[in-house]
Amino acid sequence: MAYSDKVIDHYENPRNVGSLDKGDESVGTGVVGAPACGDVMKLQIKVEGGVITDAKFKTYGCGSAIASSSLVTEWVKGMKIEDAMEIKNSQIAEELSLPPVKIHCSVLAEDAIKAAIVDYQKKHGGA
């Protein structure tokens, strides 16, 4: 399959690979998986004053899954958490020109950022 230039760029030079301290009160962690293919993705955010100041990811999967999560960590830095909650997989798929068979990779990245925010909110007594 032919990957777009943007996918290849993120795949070869992934941004923000790594981990934040899961136990830190200011960190939210989201872990999601694609059951049909076995890909797993961990996305973490550090939140200060309602704003995401850092984001890290680790994705074990195909190039599109790595690119989707890499892109999301770039996007969310500096965003308010409520704005990050609004990120849609269609925006990710469009930015990376993902083909239809790889749309589920962008869904995974959307699920991961949402899960990270929910985890952060839980730590702070939110919904």
Partner 1 sequence: MDHFGLLGLPRQYAIDRDALERAYLERAQAAHPDRFVGASSAEQRSAMERSASLNEGYRVLRDPVRRAEYLCRLAGIDVDSSEPEGGAPAMGQAFLMEMIERREAVEDARREGPSALDELRDGVEGELDDALDRAVSALQQGDSRRAAEALVERRYLQRLLDELDDEVER
List, by residue number, the catalytic residues. Answer: 37, 105
* Both structure tokens of 60: 């074990």
DSSP state of 22: T
**Which amino acid is located at 76 in the chain?**
V
Q: Which of 2, 5, 23, 35 binds partner 1 (CB under 8 A)?
A: 35
- Minimum separation from the CB atom of position 51 to partner 1 (A): 25
Distance between CA atoms of 50 and 83, rounded to whole angstroms? 10
Part in contact with partner 1 (CB under 8 A); list of ranges 7-15, 27-35, 63-71, 84-92: 27-35
Site for partner 1 in 45-84 (CB under 8 A): 58, 60
∠ CA 100-104-110 to the nearest 5 degrees? Answer: 125
Part in contact with partner 1 (CB under 8 A); list of ranges 39-47, 65-73, 78-86, 88-96: 39-47
DSSP state of 14: -
The count of residues interacting with partner 1 (CB under 8 A) is: 15
Whose tokens are 């290849």? That residue is: 8
Q: Give me the residues that bind partner 1 (CB under 8 A), please.
A: 31-40, 42, 58, 60, 104, 107
